[in-house]
Amino acid sequence: MEKGYFITGTDTNAGKTWATIALMRYFKQQGKTVVGMKPVAAGCFNQDGRLKNEDALLIQENASLHIDYDLLNPYAYQLPVSPHIAGIHNPVNLAILVERFTVLKEMAEIVLVEGAGGWYAPLNDHEDISDLAKSLALPVILVVAIKLGCINHAKLTYWAIQQSGIPCAGWIAVCAAPDMLKQDENIRTIKTALDVPLLGVLPYQATANFDLLASWLVL
């Protein structure tokens, strides 16, 4: 069993957080202790005088043990824009993220790290999500939003992961469009195109039932 996984997606709103929480529930059902990390989050709100992010709070809530918010989400930006823009006055420092991750991985058997945006989303003026994944040295799980255009997005992102030299443990299909035509055919096409395992197909849900979503995962 790997120490953890880095969760990336084909785009913003691809379903990374739902997949991350489903994975957390899955590993907990396997008897593992699990914590999560959302290193960088843009689009935060003020809670008790601190900027916090809904996705990061959900990750905090689903951990096997209490994790201080600043540990799991070191960079919380108010504006819902690219991190390199939102953090212009407080740019992401990868060394700090690696330091926080090092603490987290000593606290549980599995650490799941959710990226921001897509694989090449910029974190600062010279580094992006792929650089973060390299720094953490975790195998990647690719989340593919199953909607019109998903085949192209999945193939491009998988190719980019391969070019980065980081192992890809597999991919998760997140059904994002309730009325998508030929959904199964699209998933089969991606499954044929990517030479890594399909770890699960998460059905469309208007409101997430994470235990149900976890039941569709096979690692």
Catalytic residues: 38
CB 1 within 8 A of CB 110: yes
d(CA 9, CA 27): 20
Nearest Cα neighbor of 178 from 199, 198, 203 is 203
What's the token pair of residue 63? 């951990």
Strand partners, 75: 40
Q: What is the CA radius of gyration of the chain?
A: 16
- The span from the CA of 80 to the CA of 71, in Å, is 21
